Structures are given as structure tokens and as C-alpha cells.
Amino acid sequence: MTIFLALLCACFWGFSEINLKQTINKYKTHTILFYSYLIQTITYLLTIIVLDIDAFKRFDINIYKYLLPFFLMKILSTVIYNFCIRNGKISIISPLLASDPIFSIIIGMLLFKEAQSLTHIIAIIIVTICIIILQFNKTDTKKKASKTAIFLASFYALWVALITTVEKAIYLGGYQLTDLYFHYLFLDIIMIFILIIINIIKDKKIKKPNYHLLKSLTENHLGYFVYSYLLTFASMSLVVPLTSLYSVITQVVAKIKLKEKLTIYERLIVSLIIISTFLLLIF
């Protein structure tokens, strides 16, 4: 069941990434964020109503000492993610974005003194080298913006690993998924009003979303719902590497839909990152 749900999450995220890439240049970041938080709020409300209506009665101010840092970290991660998708080749950026299992292991080693196998150490070294090589890759035609996207995609993976650790800590603290969603709603609503003001000031209106944007954001939040549900009972060491396989789906679909072309050199680097991430699941 865990493996099935993790792979389902990977499918949602993989297709979400492709749909976002197809339409992201038609929208400014603050507009995408507005619709993202709007869909997220609707998703959270429906989840609470369907699964645990009593969550509305369990308000606990103490959860915000975890939730507020979590919320702010997610805002930054969303902005970085959109920049990377907008400015980089999806076939290169996606494996970097999905390399957070590597950083989860590093966090486990440094913060929790977790012992790691030789395979894990080798995987970490390979991905680190690949990231450095991509930074000096001269074949990417988008130059500075693309180089920044590659760097930020690597930072994003580290940031997501930290966010996942914080979310797991919330569940280990005795809170349920619906408790997280209920308390998150207040922050979401505040964020929506802020984004409405930003959109009106900058664009005089909120641009209507197209099919690809709505599909991308819906798939992303459905994937995140499955991911959060898995974190409530399953091990991070299993969930994170499995869901990170979404980059494989992105690779396949990008080649078919986006017609992206990579050099042999770039394919080799991307393949090494995917294989290294997959090794964490096997060993």
C-alpha cells in the first residue's frame, strides 16, 4: 500500500511539473502563487470535511511553533521551484529538484547521528559531483538564468529535505494530518489576501488561469496530500526516495511533449543523479 501510494504521488508530481513548464511563462510568479494557495485551501477544507470534521474543534495554538516555520519555508520553496521551472531545462532541473533524499540522509547524519551505508555515502558523493559539473556546463543556452536555476534546484532539494523533517516532527508530536490542515488554513487565507493585493497592485487584476495551470496545481496538491498522508505512518527513508522518482516520469514526458534535447554529456549527468537517488531506495 505504501509503495503504491508513493508511486501515485510520483505520478501526480511528474505530470504536474510538465503542465507547469508548458504554461509558466504566461504567468507571473505572484499569480501562480495565488491560484496555488487557493487550490490548496480548497483541498484542505475538503479533506477535513470528508475525513475528520471534528478537526474544527481541535484548535491548538502550540502547533504554530512548528507550523509557522514550516509555512514560511514552504513559501520560499514554492518561489524557488517556480524560478527553476521557468528558467531551466526541465530534463536537467527535475532530477536536481528530486534529489532531496540525498539531503535527507545528510541531515540524518549531521542532526540525528544516523549511521549510513557505504552505498548511501557513494550516492551522496556522486550527486554532489554532478551538481558541481552542471554548474560549469557550457552547453546550456540559457546561460546565467539557467545556471542560477541549477544552483537553486540543488538548494531547493536541501530545503525540501528540511521541510519534510519539520512536517514529520509535527506528526511525531502527536498531531494528525487533519490537525495540520485545519491550522494551516488560517495561514493560507492570510496568504491569499496578501497575494490578491500584490496582484491588484502589480497587474490591476488577477489573470484567469488556463487549463495547464489548473491541471498542474491540482496534480501538485493531490500529490502533496498523498505525500503528507504517507508521512503520518510510513518511514521517511522509504517515502522520500519513492516519491522522488517523479523525475523519471518528467524525463519521459518531457521528451515526448516538450521535445527537449540533451547532449550525451547532459544525459549522463542526469542519469547518474536519478540512479544515485534510486540506490537509496534499494539499499
Sign of the Cα pseudo-torsion (192, 198, 200, 204, in order)? negative
With 0-12 / 13-18 / 19 or more C-beta atoms within 10 angstroms meaning exposed / middle / buried, residue 201 is exposed
Cα distance between residue 25 and residue 28, in whole Å: 7
Q: What is the pTM of this model?
A: 0.83
Report the pLDDT averaged over residues 260-272: 71
pLDDT tens readout for residues 174-199? 889 999 999 999 999 999 999 999 99
Lowest mean pLDDT among 114-123, 132-141, 269-278: 132-141
Cα distance between residue 45 and residue 56, in whole Å: 10
For residue 85, what pLDDT is reported?
A: 92
Report the pLDDT averaged over residues 144-162: 80
User: Is residue 224 predicted with pLDDT exceeding 80?
Assistant: yes
User: Is residue 143 predicted with pLDDT exceeding 90?
Assistant: no
User: Is residue 144 predicted with pLDDT exceeding 60?
Assistant: no
User: Is residue 282 predicted with pLDDT exceeding 70?
Assistant: no
Q: If you search the block for the grid coordinates 549522463, which residue do you land on?
A: 268
For residue 141, what pLDDT is reported?
A: 46
Higher pLDDT pick, 267 / 182: 182
pLDDT tens readout for residues 7-62? 899 899 999 999 999 999 999 999 999 999 999 999 999 999 999 999 999 999 98
Residue 84, all three cell numbers:
527553476
For residue 201, what pLDDT is reported?
A: 93
Q: Please give the mean pLDDT across all residues of the chain.
A: 83
Cα distance between residue 64 and residue 78, in whole Å: 20
pLDDT tens readout for residues 78-92? 999 999 999 888 877
Report the pLDDT averaged over residues 229-240: 81
For residue 264, what pLDDT is reported?
A: 74
